[in-house]
Structure 1
Amino acid sequence: MTAKTVVLFDEVAELAGKDLGYSERREITQDQVNLFADATDDHQWIHTDLEKAADGPFGGPIAHGFLTLSLLIPMWSELFDVSDVKTKVSYGVDKVRFTSPVKVGARIRMTVTIAEVSEVKGNGLHLVADATIEDDRDRGGGAPRGGGALPEPVLQVGFRALTTFLPR
């Protein structure tokens, strides 16, 4: 894992274009997939039926794309923090693409670059980050997944660092 970038509010604007590196790897387990299926009522066999998924197009069960996407927040928290603000909020996700499946048992990590930083009138900053979540599986050709591998979710995400609390 790359060392966490921790900055003060006044330093955030200087981060546009900065590569924050990689988060820790975390394994995608069948238990996680099953819990996500229960939470979202998405019990499609490709995720939850081990026998049928073994005969399916990926040779085993795969994580829901949105399960992988939901792990963005803990991985982001490993990479970045603004230490002197009142609150930090996720603002939204743009341009999400699930470019390849994440098989159960894969170990994923995220890499992030701060694409832009802009002012939120009166109380904060808006950060746009380009992120890629990748796994450590071999896609063929003998090269293990890791650096430069095919990504799974590719996305652009917004975060806000606010010097005052949000209005009620």
Structure 2
Amino acid sequence: MKLRDSDFDKTKFIKSLESIIYLFLVLPLIAFGWVFLEKEKVGGLRATFFENTDVMFHSVMAIGIGYILMRTTATWKRDILRALDKTQELDAKMSAVRKPIIYRNLMWALGAGIGAYGLYEKGDMVYALVFTVFLLLITSNRPSERYFVKFFGLKGDEKDWMLKSGTPK
């Protein structure tokens, strides 16, 4: 197993990355909770999507949601791994994916914000589903030791090091 920095603390790295990602989620989560409670109080939630619909609004929202999903899921992992092909050191790989992971989660938080805004504007419960999809994407792809093992396809010593606590010897 190769490391560029023998003092690299993977636990500290992962926790700081996780903190940043959850900070991105706070604003859409607060907005969604507030909007949901306000709409419920005035009876503004609608379970039907096609009744009295605003095609232009829903189309713009669908384009935004589709763009975010395509940009962050379709080829994201393959492109990142291709860019890291020549990097051998595991700590360098982890440091290199920091910004792309932050960007992807920022985009997902924006998608959750779209869900909250759609619920605010139209009261259609389909936007609660949109919010839930992005919430699931953020929480199921949170950085952890197991996430990096799966992401990089680690085996042997690298996998053992990643799953054990502490820094390398």
Q: Please classify the TM superposition score into its range, dividing by the shorter chain length.
A: under 0.3
* TM-score, reference length from structure 1: 0.26
The structure richer in strand per residue is 1
* TM-score, reference length from structure 2: 0.26
> Per chain length, whose mean CA-contact separation is higher, i.e. which structure has more relative contact order (CA < 8 Å, sep 6+)?
2
The structure richer in helix per residue is 2
